[in-house]
C-alpha cells in the first residue's frame, strides 16, 4: 500500500507533465522555506505561476480545490514572497496563484485561483 507522500509525489509529477503539455515551463518543484511549501513554480506566457496541487481519489470528502483554504492561501503567499525575494525577482514581475485539482484521473487547472494576500 502506498503512503500519502508517495501518492502526492506521483500526482505532482502527473500535474507537472500536464502543465508542460499546456505550455507551462516548470521552474521548481517542492520549494520549501520556513513560511511553507509550494508544490510547483512555473512560467506561463511570461507570468510567474505558483501552483498548489490537490488530489482526491473521489469526491466523497469534497473536491480537491476546496482543500486550498484561506489559511493555506496565506501560507502560499508568504512562501511566494520568500521565493521572489530569495531569487531576486523584480517587484514589477507579474505573478499569480493557480490550483491544480486532480480528481481520480481528471485534471483541472484553476488559473488565478486566489488573490495575493
- State pLDDT tens for residues 9-26: 889 999 999 999 999 999
Q: What is the pLDDT of residue 77?
A: 97
For the chain, list the domains and their CATH numbers: 4-110 (3.40.1350.10)
Instruction: Say how many Å lie between the first and final Cα of the chain, rounded.
Output: 38
d(CA 105, CA 109): 13
Q: What is the pLDDT along the chain (117 residues), one digit of tens a residue?
A: 567 777 778 899 999 999 999 999 999 999 999 999 999 999 999 999 999 999 998 888 888 999 999 999 999 999 999 999 999 999 999 999 999 999 999 999 999 999 998
Distance between CA atoms of residues 47 and 67, nearest Å: 25
Q: Are the CB atoms for 26 and 75 separated by under 8 Å?
A: no
Q: How far is CA 99 from the centre of its chain?
A: 5
pLDDT reported for residue 61 = 84
pLDDT of residue 2: 63
Amino acid at each position: 500500500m502506498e503512503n500519502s507522500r508517495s501518492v502526492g509525489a506521483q500526482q505532482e509529477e502527473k500535474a507537472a507533465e500536464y502543465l508542460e503539455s499546456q505550455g507551462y515551463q516548470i521552474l521548481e518543484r517542492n520549494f520549501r522555506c520556513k513560511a511553507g511549501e509550494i508544490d510547483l513554480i512555473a512560467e506561463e506566457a511570461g507570468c510567474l505561476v505558483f501552483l498548489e496541487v490537490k488530489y482526491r481519489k473521489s469526491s466523497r470528502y469534497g473536491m480537491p480545490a476546496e482543500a486550498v483554504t484561506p489559511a493555506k492561501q496565506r501560507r502560499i503567499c508568504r512562501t511566494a514572497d520568500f521565493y521572489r525575494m530569495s531569487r531576486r525577482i523584480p517587484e514589477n514581475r507579474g505573478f499569480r496563484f493557480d490550483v491544480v485539482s486532480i480528481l481520480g484521473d481528471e485534471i483541472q487547472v484553476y488559473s488565478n485561483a486566489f488573490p495575493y494576500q
